[in-house]
Amino acid sequence: MVKAMTESGTVTGERAVARCDVLGKPPFSDENDLLFRPWLGPGFIATVEAISNWMRQAGMTVRQDAAANLIGRYEGSTPDAPALLFGSHLDSVRDGGRYDGMLGVITALEVVAGFHERGERFPFAIEIVGFGDEEGSRFPITMLTTRSIAGVLEEDDPVAAFAELHDVDGITVEQALARVGLTPRGMAAAKRRKDSVLAYVEAHIEQGPVLEAEGRALGVVSGIAAQRRFEIRLHGMAGHAGTMAMSLRRDALTAASEMVLAIERIGVAGGDRDGLVATVGSLRTWPGVTNVVPGDVTFTIDARAGTIATRDRAMNDILAALKDIAERRGIEIEIIPREDLDPSPCDPRLMALMETAVQDVTGEPARVLVSGAGHDAMIMARLAPMSMLFIRCEKGISHNPAEAVLPADVGEAVTALTRFVRLFADDYSQTQGRHSA
Ligand code: HGY
Ligand code: MN
Ligand code: MN
C-alpha cells in the first residue's frame, strides 16, 4: 500500500487547507463577512494573482486565457507535449464554503509541487486550470469559461445569448470582460485543441454524506447527474394592500408560493429514485414592499437526476403544474430555459486507474459513487476523457460557510492523485509504445 507519504515526507494536506482558508476571506472574497467570489470580481482577480505565485513556486508557467481562466503548466520531459489537465473552479456561490471548487485546484497544486520538489517529469505536461465561472453565481448562466476551453461555447451559448446578461448591479458580461481587456466574442479563443489534452481530472469535495457515513476519506466518481435550470417570470397585478379586495387580486407571490410547493411535491414524489431533486433557490418579488400586492415575481428551478428520462419526466410535470396554477390565478407566466446538461459518465479507463490509485493509498477497494452536484468535468468531458476524485466533507455540507474538510483526507487525496499520475504515465507509455511498434 502506498502510504500517504512522499519521498520528501508525509503529505499532510495542511498547506492545501490553509491556502483554501486564506482564499476564503478578503481580498479574495468580494464581501467582508461572507465568501462571495464571482467571476471577474475583485476577489477573483486577487485569487488569480495569489494562485499564480504558488504555481510559479511549484515550477509552473502561468497564463490566463481569453475567458480569464487561470492555467498553470508543468512541462513534460519533451517540450510542447500534450497535457494531463487537472482543474476545478475558482468562483464561489454567495455565502459559500472555502473548499467547493478551490480545493480541486489547490490539491492539484500540491501534487505538482511534489513532482517539482523531486524533479520528476513525465512524457506529458501537467496543467492545472482554475475555471472562472462554474457556479453561474454572478450571471444567470453557468460554466461559460469551461465551455470556452472545451470549444463548445458557440454550440451551447451563442455570444448574443450571453453577452448582455447582467449581474445584480446591472453590469453585463460584456462590460465585466471589458474591464479585464476581454470580449464575449474573444472567449472562443480559449478553445483547446483536442490533441493538446490527454485527459481531465478533477478532485472535489463530495458535497454529500456518503463518504463520511462510510468512514472513507476518498471516493471515485462514476458519473455526474443530468441537470436543467429555468428562470420563471410571473406577471400579476400590483395593487394597494389596503384597498385591493382579495377576490380581485392577481397576486404574483401567492401564485409563486403555490408553484414552489408544487415543485417540491413533484420532487418528493420521485421517491429519491434515480437521484431526482428539484429546488427553487432564488425568488425575487416586485416591488417587494409591505403595502403593495406583489405584481411580479421571478424565481429559479434547478432539477437533476441520474438519467435524462427521470429528470425530464419530472420537469414536464413541473411545467404543466406551473401553467395550470398560472391559468387558474390569471397570472402571465414566462418560462426561460437557463441550463440543460446531460448526465456525464466518467471515462472507464481513467476510473480504473483512479480506483487503483485510491486502493493503493487507502488499502481498501475504492467507493464508487454518482455526483448529484454539477462540475466543470461535465463540460470538459466533451473535450477529453474525464475522471473525478471525491474528498470527504463534514456532514456533506456545501454551498454553506460551514463546509469543512480534514487535512489528513486532503493529504490522502494528494497522495492518491500523485499515484494516479504515475499509473497514467505507465498506461500512456504502453499505449504510445503500442502505437510506435
Ligand atoms: O450546482 C452545482 O451542482 C455546482 O455547485 N455548480
Ligand atoms: Mn458549487
Ligand atoms: Mn463545485
Write out pLDDT tens, residues 287-311.
Answer: 999 999 999 999 999 999 999 999 9
Rounded Cα distance, 381 and 345, in Å: 8
The answer to whether 390 and 205 have CB atoms below 8 angstroms apart is: yes
Distance 328 CA to ligand 1 centre (A): 34
**Of the candidates 98, 163, 119, the residue with the CA atom closest to the CA atom of residue 407:** 98
Q: Ligand 3 center to residue 375 CA distance, Å?
A: 6
Look at the domain 227-341 and name its fold.
Alpha-Beta Plaits (3.30.70)
**Which one of the ligands is nearest to 97 CA?**
2
CATH 3.40.630.10 residue window(s) in the chain: 12-224+343-436
236 Cβ closer than 6 Å to some ligand 1 atom: no
High-pLDDT (> 70) share of the chain, %: 96
In the predicted model, is pLDDT for residue 8 greater than 60?
A: no
Higher pLDDT, 357 or 431: 357
pLDDT value of residue 9: 52
- Residue 32 in this model has a pLDDT that exceeds 70: yes
| φ/ψ (deg, to 5) at 34 | -155, 160
Is the domain spanning 12-224+343-436 CATH 3.40.630.10? The answer is yes
The ligand whose atoms approach the alpha carbon of 103 most closely is 3
Cβ 38 under 6 angstroms from ligand 1:
no
Residue of 94, 142, 202 to test ligand 1 pocket, by largest number of atoms within 8 Å of CB: 142
Q: Which helix (DSSP H) or strand (DSSP E) does residue 278 occupy?
A: strand 277-279
* Ligand 1, pocket-test mutation among 92, 135, 202, most atoms within 8 A of CB: 135
Cβ atoms of residues 143 and 383 within 8 Å:
no
How many other C-beta atoms lie within 10 A of the C-beta of residue 409?
A: 21
pLDDT at 38: 98
Tell me where in the chain the CATH 3.30.70.360 domain(s) lie.
Answer: 227-341
Residue nearest to atom 4 of ligand 1 (CA): 374
CA distances for 304 relative to 28, 163, 226, 270, 339, angstroms: 31, 27, 5, 11, 11
Cell numbers 482564499 correspond to 23
Ligand at shortest distance from the CA of 206: 3
Whether the pLDDT of residue 35 is over 90: the answer is yes
- β strands within 143-209, DSSP E: 197-205
**pLDDT tens track for 127-152:** 999 999 999 999 998 999 999 999 99
Per-residue confidence (pLDDT) for residue 274, from 0 to 100: 87
The set of cell numbers assigned to 53 is: 505565485
Quickly count: other Cβ atoms within 10 Å of residue 402's Cβ: 10
* Residue 23 alpha carbon to ligand 2 centre in Å: 16
Q: What angle do CA 25, 88, 393 make, to 5 degrees?
A: 65
The Cα 199–Cα 427 span in angstroms is 12
Backbone angles phi, psi at 58, to 5 degrees: -95, 20
Mean pLDDT over the full length of the chain: 95
